[in-house]
Amino acid sequence: MVALGASPAAAQEPVLGSDAGACRPGAGGTAALVIVEGFRDRAGRLRVQYYGDNPDDYLASGKYLRREEMAVTAAGEMAVCITLPGPGRYAMVALHDRDADGRLSIFSDGIGFSNNPKLVLAKPKSEKTLFTAGPGLTTLHIVLNYWRGLSVRPWGE
């Protein structure tokens, strides 16, 4: 783990993931620091993955470009570093897999997307989740959403 000093929001959190070194100041290359917040509880695993800007590949099985997965930490937000192939447009997805079964269980797991679109009963359109990464480090904040009553929304709302 690498301590992070460049992003005030995650200054107290270690940077997680096998790409953690890519988020160090001056590391070079292209990477995203994904700060995931709003966990319902601390069970299970967190998966962060991204897709390119082709709408046909968006959320399609096996079409993600890169994935990082790890146990959920005991407290706080989680700062995950993930390398990107270069500047461009991407859609980032965070999944709180509470039962660690490797798939989305809509009634128990949490999910969030880059740009934090309001979620309804269908997946958000890819265009609403695309972000632009330049050279170097891009920081994203993703708020997890969970099924609650008749809607999908952040746990604290």
What CATH number does residue 92 fall under?
Answer: 2.60.40
Residue 156 covered by a domain: no
Could you read off the pLDDT of 76-119 as tens digits, one per residue?
Answer: 999 999 999 999 999 999 999 999 999 999 899 999 999 999 99
Residue 52 covered by a domain: yes
Residue 154 covered by a domain: no
Mean pLDDT confidence for 133-149: 95
Residue 63 covered by a domain: yes
Residue 153 covered by a domain: no
Full domain range(s) for residue 8 = 2-146
Q: For the chain, what is the domain count?
A: 1
Model pTM score: 0.90
Residue 157 covered by a domain: no
How far, rounded to the nearest angstrom, does the alpha carbon of residue 85 sit from its chain's CA centroid? 17
Residue 137 covered by a domain: yes
Residue 131 covered by a domain: yes
Higher pLDDT, 3 or 66: 66
Q: What is the pLDDT of residue 6?
A: 43
Mean pLDDT of the chain: 91
Counting residues of the chain whose pLDDT is more than 70, the rounded percentage is: 91
Q: What is the pLDDT of residue 14?
A: 87
